[in-house]
Structure 1
């Protein structure tokens, strides 16, 4: 039994409006990531030095851009991608602020990275062991 909307014209209009809002948001994220990456590169050129923290920051921007690309291609966002970004951000935090962190803050950040890595492994195991089925009609993933 399928649920049909009571007002199909309104449902189509709202669906289209949400699609445009979604595309606008993705475009804004893309432009912001490109600008931020450009600013970071310009700063490295200006200072004539590249640090590991700079490279990790650029990696975060690239991950954000690839996340937008994957979302545009598939219409779905793999949960692992934000987890990867969070791990790199925590690693960058550890590298930049290591001298200012207490022992417990250092341990907490390290444990957070381990928890995120375990979550990625668990999600990956779940996808391999219990894969999603692709609908023949729509070509999209079904849960």
Structure 2
């Protein structure tokens, strides 16, 4: 149980690090209108997606936290119930990490920080899958 909680914690840290990397480094180099570099009206699409990604990340982290608390209370319950709670609580985290990979690779593939953020989002996805509670013997 503790091993899966550490993996889930690693997924959360990877997601937060990727969002911070996109916010502070990668989105700085994006121009508003790539067709006309002198056009500075409007907001770049990646900035809009980044704000959406951060809102989804905060909501998914809240649901993951609620799910982890529920896992503590359901420790002695049936395995199917625990897996159901785990899946329902962590589906938003999985979808947010996949959206982060999509945004990073679609808009920020030319920046090193964008590629590192995509890798961190993939690591978050993998850690969520690795943190599935084991079946009791």
Same fold judged by TM-score > 0.5? Answer: no
| Structure with greater Cα Rg | 1
Q: Into which bin does the TM-score normalised by the smaller protein fall? A: 0.3 to 0.5
